[in-house]
Structure 1
Amino acid sequence: MPKDGGIGASSKRREDVRFLTGAGNYTDDINIRGQAHVFFLRSDVAHGTLNKVDTTAAEGMPGVVRVFTGADFEAVGGMPCGWQITDKHGQPMLEPKHPVLAHGKVRHVGEPIAAVVADTLEQARDAAEAIELDISELPAVVDMKAAVTDASPKVHDDLPSNLCYDWGFVEENKAATDEAFEKAAHVTTLELVNNRLVANPMEPRVAVGDYSRATDDHTLYTTSQNPHVIRLLMGAFVLGIPEHKLRVVAPDVGGGFGTKIFHYQEEAFCTFAAKACNRPVKWTSSRSEAFMSDAHGRDHVTKIELALDADNNFTALRTETFANMGAYLSTFAPSIPTWLHGTLMAGNYKTPLVYVNVKAVFTNTVPVDAYRGAGRPEATFQLERVIDKAALELKVDPVELRRQNFITEFPYATPVAVEYDTGDYHATMDKVLEMSDRAGFEARRKESEARGKLRGFGINCFIEACGIAPSNLVGQLGARAGLYESATVRVNATGGLVVMTGSHSHGQGHETSFAQVVADMIGIDENMVEIVHGDTANTPMGMGTYGSRSIAVGGSAMVRATEKIIAKAKKIASHLLEASEGDIELKDGAFSVAGTDKSVAWGDVTLAAYVPHNYPLEDIEPGLEETAFYDPSNFTYPAGAYTCEVEVDPQTGVVTIERFASADDFGNVINPMIVEGQVHGGIAQGIGQALLENCAYDENGQLLTASYMDYTMPRADDLPDMTHYIVDHSCQTPCTHNPLGVKGCGEAGAIGSPPTVINAIVDALRSGGHDVTHIDMPATPARVWAAMQG
């Protein structure tokens, strides 16, 4: 393989050619002859009894094909939840029905009540405005703690309360953890909020349903991170369509960040309506709709306590979290504050006892589910903020307090039921301190003070769990699907390969990095490998892309399938070379006999597979195509250390990020350029959460941040100058349980950056004499200024 290609090379992203030239094929680009358009009439109240939906006037308006209400969907299933949580008493979570269109009640602003299908979108919108609604508004519940009191209105009348589950983990640790706190030399307590976020991918969601009466086949084109899962959930649990009669296609997708993992009502509706109307039906979300219909992220309120002995060793950790589920359970929502959050509460530290309690609560708000990082940012923020506060109380260096408590021996079994296979937290700490020039910080602080600014330095260490697995374990934990991945490798007669994967790319560069892996294994040019994804009709069943699982799980499936290809090709080569199969070696795209100069090119072997004139037919059949499914034996555990320097204007509270450095351990790296881009993007999103973004409701459940006029997204000038925005991934401890030794990189930046920024802000304020030990996100100028006023 040439030095400028294969694993470890910064190959340019091949998919960018079409993206940068406007040749991408996004779902909204798909228009089917004869298609109609749908407009959803959504609730403008958060909680109410739906007395009447009068569609008479709308049905008679120009261009209207049909008007649908909740009554049309009484015979179909509700939107399914893909994960069941069992509480600390052994009881299953409360699981209300989630209708395709509201029926009987509305439970959050933005819930679809009726849908108008018309020849044009304008006609559908006009007709929707003619629908008469009679809604008796009910008191809304928004505050999570208030929601679980006896006096609170119930979001779902058929449930005993608004408490979805009360989860304790590890329950058998609770008594010992409580005892450790009683004996502790020092206890640090912190109450904090992990603010609700809107994902805001560049491309809003789109769904196009099509139906063929001739074959009884359904097709859904959708903006999805996992088309096979959408097909499974919609076919089996909502509409009752056999999977072989349902095709789901996710073409180019303009960003997801988790919010496009889930099965949404609009997808089910367009699929259903295409058959009911006997014509294609298309819906494209407006940005305003996205704010009140896309699943939101985060939204935790937590009390965390850290116990230490007289030598400042961590002895126990205890948390109590209220986690907002919103009005309904989104696809993976119950797993986020539990198994993707509680299992990471040990962090990078050898804390012997950990107990995590999570109360998941229904409120009259948009459902909450996975958002970039999904549970791990919440855990990291809690842990790294309480450690910084402990360092303040103990008057010790926050870096040294962390170092003292680092895990140093691997594999390491944590008290929260996971086992880290590899890591070197001292190495990433050393690297980030070197990159950030901590030794020169005091001089920079004095220079800032001379200009009337307060300067702070923040440090953070984190670990994450990626490539969630294995299926038999997550099944025991409540997952209602397997979490394997798949790949089919088809070799053409002339030597080129088509790799069909169940993973899906929505910005990660799979078409480049996956090709690098397969090409490197064979020793051929990357351009000979084509990656196909996103269409259930021509890819094997896979679980899609989320949780930084693509290369660790999807890439490993490709490796296994390619290994099968190579094994069969060696049989053919041994026949052509008249040598023992055990003596055949593959290197640089040629098969050779070990210890001789006899060889045959890759293309000659592949041609023989399809033109079997000289072929061992008695041993193997013609052709060269293999499929593999890969189910990991464990999570992967990327880890990192981040630093941030901020300046705070004491007159206004404005925070400016001056420097940022990240040192990550991602195991082996396939494409350094792509990894760097993923980390940069994640850090930008984390900075957005720390400083700018906040999804807010008023006491009546009205969404106050329903547009970019009120919801602040990070821009380029919110980030530090690129010369002071340094990312590094040279500290590599390869994963021991997947064939590539990779760990995943897509979420690290969003996990590590929020506490780093807040730690820096607190340090800056304290340098100015302000007795501040914590500030909640987002650290807006108003919030920072108020903190300085005491």
Structure 2
Amino acid sequence: MPKDNTTTEGGIGAATVRREDIRFLTGEGNYTDDIRLQGECHAIFVRSDVANGVIKSIDTSTAEGMPGVLAVFTGEDFVEVGGNPAGWLINSRDGEPMKEPKRPVLAHGKVRHVGDAYAAVVAETREQALDAAGAIEADIEELPAVINMASAVAGGGLVHDEIDTNVCFDWGWIEDNRAATDAAIKAAPHVTTLELVNNRLVPNAMETRASMGDYNAGTGEYTLYTTSQNPHMSRLLICAFVLGIPENKLRVIAPDVGGGFGSKIYHYGEEALVLAASKKLKRPVRWTSTRSEAFLSDAHGRDHVTKIELACEKDGTFIAFRTETMANVGAYLSNFSTATPTFLHGTLMAGNYTVPNVYVNVKAVFTNTVPVDAYRGAGRPEATYSIERVIDMAARELGMDPIELRRKNFVKPDQYPFASAAGLEYDSGNYDLQMDKLEAMIDRPGFAARRAESEKNGKLRGLGLNAYIEACGIAPSNLVGVLGARVGLYDAATVRVNATGSLAVMVGAHSHGQGHETAFPQVVAEMLGIDPQSIDIVHGDTAKIPFGMGTYGSRSLAVCGSAVVRATEKIIAKAKKIAAHMLEAAEADIEFEAGNFSVAGTDKSVSFGEVAFKAYIPHNFPIEDIEPGLEETAFYDPANFTYPSGAYACEVELDPETGKVTIERFAAADDFGNIINPMIVTGQVHGGIGQGIGQALIEQTAYDDDGQLLSASYMDYAMPRAEDVPFYQVNHDDGTPCAHNPLGVKGCGEAGAIGSPASVVNAVIDAMQSGGKNVTHMDMPLTPSRVWEAMNAKGV
């Protein structure tokens, strides 16, 4: 573990303790469900208990007459309004645009998954709303559920009758590479083929989703309080596509949010419902999800079935990767659901490697299941898992050391900028250095002795590793626009210097666990030479912050942080003008260092605080040169993605009698570029690894053939506990700075979830093979029962 070098103050690079944790740990947080408004009432949603069915009728008469009931809504109330669109338009290989059925506020005509809301009750109390919801009678003609993706593609029933297919798109990347990749694989001396599953996951943020709508009849203005990672995007979608509210009449406030992991990026129908209900009733309307509802209505993650082929020379030189994937998008398209399996996945299928040929085919498939969208890592864990599992298998088939096989094919430092065969340009990296650090951390020479010790105790020990690269920032706009994004993906910041020298920094990014209120002040404090405690971060309120694109894809510092830098640079430039006026010197002679403006070559100086005060008392300003005040805004649209990378290793012990896997050691060597706060980065890596281990060993979303969710509570869906994870070794020193943003940062929030699943599975396969079992692959999660069955299968 790294030494404790935390502090309560400091600029860039200091392990400053998170200031926001004071309120979180003392119960002083302000979450959506904590907000109370006068006259508020409560909404409860009525959700389908069948996966696929035609709504014949809905009888709300009994519910409408029950005590406390104020209103009942059904899908028919929203037929005339719009639907929630996907954020990215994807074209199929033949040039046809994707199939995009409407996603309504409430289901009408048909329900398409268990949990699909088709009615809502608003009452004085939550209990009264619950009682009335139970009295609504719906006649739903149940149809056969479309659950299996292969059956869905083959035509086994329809999720959306109006589009006459269950295939949303059949996408190829890069289509011009297809023939060359096919030819290279056909002619290759060695080809390793692997079929695998990226198991479906439920995000399970600590705070469930909640929304409260408040309509002001006097002004015609709406306020939405909601658990959102992306308040400006929620406002845009509601106004432009769903309800048609004038954008200047809707304010979206996302206060403290207890985790998101992607599941709170999107706009959900419950947000629109509480706004519409509030207008009708002229009262605030509140809804807070139960955990059971969350399992049935929050966007799920992953759910890919992939065939991957790796072609290489006999000496292990990579020739080509080719993949065919079916990606489950569930019953409806969520906002990022079309981007996740395509441009956040397919563009990373070259990995860290100099492979010259890559072709990716993805079929997005509708099924009668909860919609699937971005979950921590969003496409990059799926890509890394496929690549790093097939590389490990190829190493065994070729009789090569798995580390040396990777090193042989790594992009080398002198090759940057490097144009990958999957269409991206990597700007910096040093993958051999990351592997060097990893090998030092894991004590590989001592592994044989540790394995022998395990065998003495009747256990099997395995070592697995992988290398990863990811594309972060989800920008620039000109690139994502070509790739199908329907919005720009810049971010923005406003820096306001008060007359007394304190600052408010308004940022478009949203903090829901990332530590923005600590890290952003470190950047500004470093630039201005002031105490970071004098800087407040304002976020999550569309009435206070500039239009930004929220937080996801490890973009906060790389994109929004760069906007903060640009706005602060404008502050310094204007402050120099004021200082020059105060010091009776030419602006070109003013130097700024450590919070002081001075005249070059003299001892004449003024502090930043004195300049700030003067900015608001402009008694003798030359008004033609200097405006009063000290406030600046900047929008930042980066030139490229950022490309964090790393190498991970996992050491497991396996009990052959029970199939139980115990993680004994885990090491992560990451390149995040420049580090703003190493303590926060370490915490982000720890959290991501925990989620990756959960996917690899215990988490599984399971449906039966009728579309009933079998893992719909914590009684049936296993979450990693403290005993499931080890103490981690992490190292994110010596990163290669990003070459195109002013901070040189790359992003760290998703790395742990990307690098860990393949490491764990590779380790378990290694343990099995050490015990003489010819098991070459197992699909996640590697639960004790699955491991035991694999080890005891005939012929193994």
Q: TM-score, normalising length from structure 2?
A: 0.98
Contact 2:9 2:533 (C-alpha < 8 Å) held by counterparts: no
Match for residue 536 of structure 1? 542
Match for residue 501 of structure 1? 507
Match for residue 753 of structure 1? 756
Contact 1:188 1:386 (C-alpha < 8 Å) held by counterparts: yes
Q: Distance in 2 between matches of 1:311 and 1:727?
A: 32
Match for residue 470 of structure 2? 464
Match for residue 774 of structure 1? 777
Pairwise CA RMSD? 0.9
Match for residue 272 of structure 2? 268
Q: CA deviation at 1:613?
A: 2.4
Match for residue 157 of structure 1? 161
User: Measured at CA, do residues 3 and 263 of structure 1 come closer, stay the same or move farther in structure 2, by a change above 3 Å?
Assistant: closer
Match for residue 317 of structure 1? 321
Contact 1:194 1:378 (C-alpha < 8 Å) held by counterparts: yes
Match for residue 142 of structure 1? 147
Q: CA deviation at 1:616?
A: 2.9
Which one-letter code corresponds to 1:769 in the other structure? Answer: G
Q: Distance in 2 between matches of 1:618 and 1:249?
A: 39
Match for residue 714 of structure 2? 708
Match for residue 3 of structure 2? none
Contact 1:4 1:11 (C-alpha < 8 Å) held by counterparts: yes
Contact 1:576 1:614 (C-alpha < 8 Å) held by counterparts: no
1:61-100 → structure 2 map (5 Å cutoff): 61-100=66-105
Match for residue 174 of structure 1? 178
Q: Distance in 1 between matches of 2:448 and 2:381?
A: 29
Match for residue 39 of structure 2? 34
Contact 1:561 1:626 (C-alpha < 8 Å) held by counterparts: yes
- Which among 19, 23, 26 is matched to residue 21 of structure 1? 26
Which one-letter code corresponds to 2:759 in the other structure? Answer: T
The reply on whether 1:524 has 2:527 as its aligned counterpart is no
Which one-letter code corresponds to 1:532 in the other structure? Answer: V
The reply on whether 1:630 has 2:633 as its aligned counterpart is no
Q: CA deviation at 1:83?
A: 1.1
Contact 2:325 2:362 (C-alpha < 8 Å) held by counterparts: yes
The reply on whether 1:380 has 2:384 as its aligned counterpart is yes
- DSSP 3-state at the match of 1:305: strand
Q: CA deviation at 1:3?
A: 11
- Which among 743, 753, 764 is matched to residue 767 of structure 2? 764
1:317-376, Cα deviation, whole Å (9 max, x unpaired): 100000000000001100000000000000000000000000000000000000000000
Match for residue 649 of structure 1? 655
1:599-639, Cα deviation, whole Å (9 max, x unpaired): 11111111110011243323111000000000011000000
The reply on whether 1:587 has 2:590 as its aligned counterpart is no
Q: CA deviation at 1:4?
A: 5.2
Contact 1:92 1:165 (C-alpha < 8 Å) held by counterparts: yes
- Which among 107, 114, 120 is matched to residue 115 of structure 1? 120
- DSSP 3-state at the match of 2:162: coil
- DSSP 3-state at the match of 1:334: coil
Q: Distance in 1 between matches of 2:579 and 2:24?
A: 40
Match for residue 255 of structure 1? 259
Q: Distance in 2 between matches of 1:533 and 1:54?
A: 43
The reply on whether 1:307 has 2:311 as its aligned counterpart is yes
Which one-letter code corresponds to 1:527 in the other structure? Answer: Q
Contact 1:3 1:9 (C-alpha < 8 Å) held by counterparts: no
Match for residue 346 of structure 2? 342
Which one-letter code corresponds to 2:228 in the other structure? Answer: S
Which one-letter code corresponds to 1:73 in the other structure? Answer: F
Q: Between Structure 1 and Structure 2, how many residues are aligned? A: 785
- DSSP 3-state at the match of 1:335: coil
Match for residue 412 of structure 1? 418
The reply on whether 1:103 has 2:108 as its aligned counterpart is yes
Q: CA deviation at 1:283?
A: 0.2
Q: Distance in 1 between matches of 2:469 and 2:383?
A: 10
Q: Distance in 2 between matches of 1:143 and 1:623?
A: 62
Which one-letter code corresponds to 2:162 in the other structure? Answer: D
Q: Distance in 2 between matches of 1:638 and 1:191?
A: 27
Contact 1:8 1:672 (C-alpha < 8 Å) held by counterparts: yes
Q: Distance in 1 between matches of 2:445 and 2:623?
A: 70
The reply on whether 1:730 has 2:733 as its aligned counterpart is yes
Gaps of 5+ in 2: 1-6
Contact 1:82 1:480 (C-alpha < 8 Å) held by counterparts: yes
Contact 1:664 1:731 (C-alpha < 8 Å) held by counterparts: no
Q: CA deviation at 1:701?
A: 0.5
- DSSP 3-state at the match of 2:665: strand
Contact 1:219 1:246 (C-alpha < 8 Å) held by counterparts: yes
Contact 1:303 1:320 (C-alpha < 8 Å) held by counterparts: yes
Contact 2:653 2:663 (C-alpha < 8 Å) held by counterparts: yes
- Which among 207, 212, 223 is matched to residue 208 of structure 1? 212
Match for residue 331 of structure 2? 327
Q: Distance in 1 between matches of 2:772 and 2:130?
A: 57
Q: Distance in 1 between matches of 2:164 and 2:484?
A: 22
Q: CA deviation at 1:593?
A: 1.5
1:34-75, Cα deviation, whole Å (9 max, x unpaired): 011011010000000100100000000000001000111111
Q: Distance in 1 between matches of 2:753 and 2:167?
A: 29
Which one-letter code corresponds to 2:583 in the other structure? Answer: L
Which one-letter code corresponds to 1:488 in the other structure? Answer: T
1:302-330, Cα deviation, whole Å (9 max, x unpaired): 00000001321000110000000000000
- Which among 513, 529, 537 is matched to residue 519 of structure 2? 513
Q: Distance in 2 between matches of 1:495 and 1:532?
A: 17
Match for residue 4 of structure 2? none
Match for residue 132 of structure 1? 137
Q: Distance in 2 between matches of 1:16 and 1:104?
A: 47
Contact 2:238 2:272 (C-alpha < 8 Å) held by counterparts: yes
The reply on whether 1:664 has 2:670 as its aligned counterpart is yes
Which one-letter code corresponds to 2:660 in the other structure? Answer: V
Contact 2:314 2:398 (C-alpha < 8 Å) held by counterparts: no
Q: Distance in 1 between matches of 2:789 and 2:601?
A: 76
- DSSP 3-state at the match of 2:422: coil
Q: Which moved more, 1:598-607 or 1:546-555?
A: 598-607
Match for residue 219 of structure 1? 223
Q: Distance in 2 between matches of 1:242 and 1:511?
A: 31
1:414-466, Cα deviation, whole Å (9 max, x unpaired): 11110000000000000011011111100100011111000000111000000
The reply on whether 1:552 has 2:548 as its aligned counterpart is no
Contact 1:171 1:355 (C-alpha < 8 Å) held by counterparts: yes
The reply on whether 1:243 has 2:260 as its aligned counterpart is no
- Which among 563, 570, 575 is matched to residue 581 of structure 2? 575
Q: Distance in 2 between matches of 1:610 and 1:457?
A: 63
Identity over aligned pairs, percent: 69
Q: Distance in 2 between matches of 1:95 and 1:182?
A: 36
Contact 1:27 1:207 (C-alpha < 8 Å) held by counterparts: yes
Q: Distance in 2 between matches of 1:702 and 1:190?
A: 30
Q: CA deviation at 1:595?
A: 2.2
- DSSP 3-state at the match of 1:762: helix
Contact 1:608 1:615 (C-alpha < 8 Å) held by counterparts: no
Q: Which moved more, 1:66-75 or 1:577-586?
A: 577-586
Q: CA deviation at 1:80?
A: 1.8
Match for residue 439 of structure 1? 445
Which one-letter code corresponds to 1:95 in the other structure? Answer: E
Q: Distance in 2 between matches of 1:542 and 1:668?
A: 23
